[in-house]
Structure 1
Amino acid sequence: MSWIKTKEKRTHYIQEEALGGPGHLITTQIIDNDEELLGKGRLFKENVLEKDCGVGYHVHEGDAEIYVIQSGEAEYNDNGTIKTVRAGDVTFTGPGEGHSLTNKKDEPVKFVALIIYE
């Protein structure tokens, strides 16, 4: 399988209170289903968090999530420990672990999220 998905044909949406987080999450899908990741994952998308917006704390079961921070600075909850992440940082949350991400700065936080199966 091979494909090209132009920017105009990718799905764009705003998710209010993403996973119970504050505000909203602006999302652009990179893939639309797990077949596009050869059954190895279920989510691959670009995201933007504006000031005072975030993805709520959630625990991964049977999968893992990677965030690639592209711009901005945010508070990252890594299993209960708050850390600051910045452009160029990469986070990994494995099965049975939890995380959240919140932007408390004026500059939007842009990041890519990828969920892969265990």
Structure 2
Amino acid sequence: MSGVASTKEKNPNLLKQVYKKEELITLDKQNVAGGNGTLHGKFAFTRDMATEDEAIKEIGWMTLNKGESIGVHPHKNNEDTYIIVSGEGIFIDGSGKETVVRAGDVTIARPNQSHGLRNEKDEPLVFLDIIAQNHALKTEK
């Protein structure tokens, strides 16, 4: 039980199982990974809040408006999943291949893979972003 107490002392927010919409943390990021414009985020928690022993490092609702993007970037020892909620976007993989993604589509960048996302449409592109630590690669930091 002492492990749970120390985790709670570090960050009690991580032990929650329900994150209400009105409690989410609003955090907008500019030119993410060399992309354009603003990535609008509402987070349950962010990477800087997560403890080392938690697999899920970040969960957030993200919005890219027309002309905004996340630049293509690598993931070394974590995995990043986008679940498209609404709108339409262009997913770019590490080879530069572009794929149209729409509501219901799921993308993932695994360790040593790269990805990016952009919105060229008038409708906002809304997606759930989940970043998880790959503990099999924990020795790489």
**TM-score for the superposition, normalised by structure 1:** 0.90
Alignment of 1:100 onto 2:116: yes
> Which residue is equivalent to 1:66?
81
Cα deviations by residue, 1:74-114 (Å, 9 ceiling, x for unpaired): 11101121111111000011100000000000000000011
What percent of counterpart residues are identical?
30
- Hey, which of these two has a bigger chunk of strand by percent? 1
2:29 aligns with one of 9, 15, 19: 15
1:55 aligns with one of 70, 79, 92: 70
Alignment of 1:29 onto 2:43: yes
Measure, in 2, the Cα distance between the counterparts of 1:62 and 1:48: 25
Measure, in 2, the Cα distance between the counterparts of 1:16 and 1:85: 22
Aligned length: 117
Residue 131 of structure 2 aligns with an amino acid whose one-letter code is I
Cα deviations by residue, 1:13-68 (Å, 9 ceiling, x for unpaired): 22111121111111000224324x96102111110000000111100001111100
Alignment of 1:42 onto 2:57: yes
Q: 1:38 to 1:7 in 2, by over 3 A?
A: farther
Gaps of 5+ in 1: none
Measure, in 1, the Cα distance between the counterparts of 2:16 and 2:133: 21
- Hey, which of these two has a bigger chunk of helix by percent? 2
2:101 aligns with one of 63, 85, 88: 85
**TM-score for the superposition, normalised by structure 2:** 0.76
Measure, in 2, the Cα distance between the counterparts of 1:104 and 1:44: 24
**Structure 1 residue runs of 4+, over 4 Å off?**
none
Higher-Rg member (1/2) = 2
Residue 112 of structure 2 aligns with an amino acid whose one-letter code is G
Aligned-residue CA RMSD in angstroms? 1.7
Matched position secondary structure for 1:30: strand
